[in-house]
Structure 1
């Protein structure tokens, strides 16, 4: 008979937050799910407009992807739908792929984009790349968010003035031009509604954060249309919202080559945002967040969601914070939010169709302005100039060359910095006996840093006072070894020998030692008694 612990162990990959669920948590999860839904549903609809997609696409992103994450994700309170960053990259990718604003049927291309994002995330999970992706620096992410915030904020200004066309996916410069063109034809009632909506959102966020400002603004905008008829004054409404559950769509692979770079950029940002949110809201008593599990959960959410007209999905901080602060104990709260979104999709389409376009633009504007974290940038300029310049350069690239280019630049810069750090030798003398020293490698040797470490060891050994006659090299960190590394060690032996210094190696792990023993140089080293099991043994033999 299978024991209960083994059953729980098998289930831990599926609905891990529901293992050993306590019924006493149900009331808290229900309240939290409703509170999060009041934020995430209108916010997701607003974010859909960033990509110039129908608002119901944002609503659909609150259904299938959230269910999938609730069943696979490891965060107890994270809410997974779309975010301003992901929506902006989606807009940029669709524009780059030639899916024009207002296209008759952009959903086929959107499906392929979301599917690719999910596939990339799942492949990263299979390759266990969770830790590697997390090496992307905070400076890169900050620069991207500043670029996203400025681009989207400026792109919403024409809508706030009464212009119907969306420019978020066309870049910062073109959005500025659109703002200048929209000034002459600004609609005063639209401007008044926009200013009032932004003011209300900011005031509620600062003075009464527990009140769902987005819901208040949406309800207020709908009432102004239904009762006061402000649409007759030239205030544009969103496109009619159909009632019903999202139905599967057919993929449109005609632009797949153009959207692959964007899908890869979105996948990277989706994972970074999701893991950052999951770890940021995790309570100390909760299980740690597993990067590979988050890759699988977020990837599966996108793969399945793609068949139901979903935008690329990721963990969002604002709705997740609302969910947690309202008392969410598990992902049951997310399922409650999904239930609320389903009800809205089934029954409130005609009501949502009365929503002013400027109201959604105001919600987006307030949300993305918060991404332009200039105080953080200034703080980094004092603490870490390197991080400051990385963030600034990535932001400027995003504003000038586009956000997809900025993501690529950010990833390349991060990898260069990581490789530079890994390739910098970290040597220390851990023991000395007469004219014999033991040198410890702070990092293992591999192809890229072998030559740098060889030179550093030679410099360290030949500059010691008094002069040394032997070096015992501690290789305990060498779990794996390559031909390049073995050649570098052979060269090190020759360099030290030319300087009158004998090289001994110690503590080489068994697996690496078996590979090294296949070379004549290492076998000769062993025959001469210069291979040792421990550093202490090496020092003792070298001192004799």
Structure 2
């Protein structure tokens, strides 16, 4: 027991060295004071540690949630008033938490699977590029008014002559330090070293007086009570839905990614409750929307963390930072924070993942690209809608176009399989066409399946068409009507229809429709092998061929 607690203590302190600088940096991404990042690494982490089902998941702000929150807060508080921003952030977090808790009560944990991996890859890459570009002006000591990705790019180019060379030099030094340490020592406290170095340089050389922008005053002490503003609920609600979905999706993905054999499985509905309560609890103490973070969780796992005790240690380190180190953090140059954001947001952009998707399925590669472009063109919040719509279109496309295979037999073996160029020697049976549709047959794909069966029947001109339904786990009324009408048309053309491999539930539906009685027991078979034996025994024909 003690060795495990010792490992959790080390893991929690190591994670704090990574989490705290990033949490402050992500607060700036959302347009909030850096102290809000500390609040988000405090309360939500404690609440999730008590309620979550993952042993090691570390919960605080993430790059994706920060940019989504920042977009929504920018719409709600266009003048950037700090006091109103804090209230709006608390309201947004409270709404996010309430939505997640409601989803848990409604058992909506399956919704996490509604954004496909390729679409999520494209969406995160778009988010990553937006975040990186959003930080570039801070690296240069510039300020531009945000009007959208492409307009901001033009504004940045026009403002380049005003670059602060001191700020740029500091930013380049920080980027080199972070990149080198991450390459040589992954999961090292590189952000903490960068932040400490930035504070030291700011204090030694008086960088603020040389025109280098710094974080400024950070309130010392634990967060104070912040109540949500009911007047903002309606305006923030649409964005809260998107943030809730992304928070849950990221949390489930990170939790599953770092689960190991022997640990309890991740429970999606319980995770909804845990993340919802974490956001709701964080809201009243001024936190921004939170979720499970992949990079910080990987640190916990890499240094031997075994339980949520590590998260409680990280939260304790956060509290100590707020109580003791807040005045020092005010000296931190914004360029250093921007560099931290950039280095740890680049991981959202995975060109290798795009290439891997393209190697497997070109269509899903196009979905990934569309989600990526959607974020850049329509913005981050609307980009979520684009991602969801693309995922649903992809799902609809797959279920609406199930394959219908022509089945043959491996020559010299009792193996039935779809005919393919890879097996040119597989045998078929003259006059008999065995077709195997796959998946659930229902109103959305019944016509497509019927058209495929008709086309294959016309191409092969068989005496008997045998439908092997062994891969059909459900059949809906519309699909049954398609089969009944197809059988009548086949009979008129002199073709006999047989059915084989019906599961008990599918057989019940076929009987209830009266179709089984129409076919008679002589046209219903246990499996496709019985079809072949019966056909060869009762329909003399030339030798099997291909």
TM-score bracket relative to the smaller structure: 0.7 to 0.9
Q: How does 1:306-345 map to 2 (within 5 A)?
A: 306-345=283-322
Q: Which among 72, 89, 93 is matched to residue 93 of structure 1?
A: 72
Offset at residue 177 of structure 1 (A): 4.0
Q: 1:105: which partner in 2? A: 84
Q: Partners of 2:227 and 2:465 in 1: how far apart?
A: 71
2:175 touches 2:339 (CA, 8 Å); kept in 1?
yes
Question: Which sits farther off after the overlay, 406-415 or 122-131?
Answer: 122-131
Question: Which sits farther off after the overlay, 259-268 or 323-332?
Answer: 259-268
Question: Which sits farther off after the overlay, 131-140 or 530-539?
Answer: 530-539
Does 2:218 align with 1:226?
no
Offset at residue 380 of structure 1 (A): 5.0
Q: Partners of 1:470 and 1:216 in 2: how far apart?
A: 72
Q: What secondary structure, in the 3-state scheme, does the structure 1 residue paired with 2:203 have?
A: helix
1:35 touches 1:322 (CA, 8 Å); kept in 2?
yes
Does 2:435 align with 1:442?
no
Q: 2:48: which partner in 1? A: 69
Question: Which sits farther off after the overlay, 374-383 or 243-252?
Answer: 374-383
Q: Structure 1 residues 372, 509: closer, same or farther in 2, change over 3 A?
A: closer
Q: Structure 1 residues 523, 198: closer, same or farther in 2, change over 3 A?
A: closer
Offset at residue 194 of structure 1 (A): 1.9
Q: Partners of 1:525 and 1:68 in 2: how far apart?
A: 62
Q: 2:18: which partner in 1? A: 39
Offset at residue 30 of structure 1 (A): 0.3
Q: 1:485: which partner in 2? A: 479
Does 2:177 align with 1:200?
yes
Offset at residue 407 of structure 1 (A): 2.3
Matched residues, number: 517
Q: Structure 1 residues 101, 455: closer, same or farther in 2, change over 3 A?
A: same
Q: Structure 1 residues 433, 101: closer, same or farther in 2, change over 3 A?
A: same
TM-score normalized by structure 1? 0.84
Q: 2:543: which partner in 1? A: none
Q: How does 1:171-250 map to 2 (within 5 A)?
A: 171-180=148-157, 182-250=159-227
Q: Partners of 1:509 and 1:53 in 2: how far apart?
A: 58
Offset at residue 212 of structure 1 (A): 0.9
Q: Partners of 1:112 and 1:413 in 2: how far apart?
A: 30
Unaligned runs of 5+ in 1: 1-21
How well do the aligned residues superpose, as a CA RMSD in angstroms? 3.2
1:52 touches 1:102 (CA, 8 Å); kept in 2?
no
1:150 touches 1:172 (CA, 8 Å); kept in 2?
no
Q: Structure 1 residues 496, 64: closer, same or farther in 2, change over 3 A?
A: farther
Offset at residue 410 of structure 1 (A): 2.2
Q: Partners of 1:478 and 1:215 in 2: how far apart?
A: 55
Q: Partners of 2:64 and 2:383 in 1: how far apart?
A: 13
Q: How does 1:257-276 map to 2 (within 5 A)?
A: 257-276=234-253
Offset at residue 433 of structure 1 (A): 8.5
Q: Which among 530, 534, 544 is matched to residue 526 of structure 2?
A: 534
Does 2:453 align with 1:453?
no
Does 2:495 align with 1:501?
yes
Q: 1:468: which partner in 2? A: 463
Q: Structure 1 residues 165, 244: closer, same or farther in 2, change over 3 A?
A: farther
1:119 touches 1:303 (CA, 8 Å); kept in 2?
yes
Q: Partners of 1:496 and 1:109 in 2: how far apart?
A: 66
Q: How does 1:46-57 map to 2 (within 5 A)?
A: 46-57=25-36
Does 2:128 align with 1:149?
yes
1:271 touches 1:314 (CA, 8 Å); kept in 2?
yes
Q: What secondary structure, in the 3-state scheme, does the structure 2 residue paired with 1:106 have?
A: helix
Q: 1:252: which partner in 2? A: 229
Question: Which sits farther off after the overlay, 532-541 or 439-448?
Answer: 532-541
Q: Which among 257, 268, 272 is matched to residue 280 of structure 1?
A: 257
Q: Partners of 1:183 and 1:162 in 2: how far apart?
A: 10
Offset at residue 304 of structure 1 (A): 3.0
Q: Partners of 1:224 and 1:498 in 2: how far apart?
A: 89
Q: Structure 1 residues 181, 438: closer, same or farther in 2, change over 3 A?
A: closer
Q: What secondary structure, in the 3-state scheme, does the structure 2 residue paired with 1:471 have?
A: strand
Offset at residue 51 of structure 1 (A): 0.8
Q: Structure 1 residues 492, 538: closer, same or farther in 2, change over 3 A?
A: farther
Q: Which runs of 4+ in 1 moved over 6 A?
A: 430-434, 540-544
